[in-house]
Amino acid sequence: MAFFNKNSKSFIKLISIIYFLQITALNGQLRVGFYSERCHNAESIVSTVVKEASQREPRMPAMLLRLHFHDCFVQGCDGSILIDNVKEAERNAFGHEGLGGFAEIQKAKTQLETQCPAVVSCADIVALAARDAVVLAGGAFYEVETGRRDGRVSDLSFAEQMPDVDDSIEVLKQKFKTKGFTEKDLVILSGAHTIGTTACFFMPKRLHNFTGKSDADPSINPKFLPELRSKCPKNGDVNVRISLDNLSEKKFDDQIMHNIKNGFAVIASDARLYDDNITRAVVNSYLQTEISDLNTSSSFEKDFGLAMVKLGRLEVKTGLLGEIRKVKVKKGR
Residue 224, phi then psi, degrees to nearest 5: -95, -25
Residue 204 neighbours by CB distance under 10 Å: 16
The answer to whether residues 244 and 285 touch, using CB atoms and an 8 Å cutoff, is no
Task: Write the DSSP assignment of 56-103 as a string of letters.
Answer: H-TTHHHHHHHHHHHHHHTTSSSSGGG--SSTT-GGGSGGGTT---HH
What is the H or E stretch that residue 12 is in? helix 8-26
Q: Which amino acid is at 195?
A: I
- Residue 123's CB is within 10 A of a number of other CB atoms, namely 32
Known binding residues for heme b: 193
Nearest to 322 by CA among 154, 162, 86: 154
Residues with a catalytic annotation lie at: 70
Annotated binding site: 71, 74, 76, 78, 80, 90, 163, 193-194, 245, 253
Q: Judge residue 42's burial from the number of C-beta atoms within 10 Å of its C-beta, 0-12 exposed, 13-18 middle, 19 or more buried.
A: buried
Q: Which residues are annotated as a binding site for substrate?
A: 163
Q: Nearest Cα to 63, choosing from 244, 200, 234? A: 244
Q: Identify whether the C-beta of residue 285 lies closer than 8 Å to the C-beta of residue 114.
A: no
Half-sphere exposure of 174 (CA within 13 A, CB side): 7
Annotated binding-site ranges for Ca(2+):
71, 74, 76, 78, 80, 90, 194, 245, 253
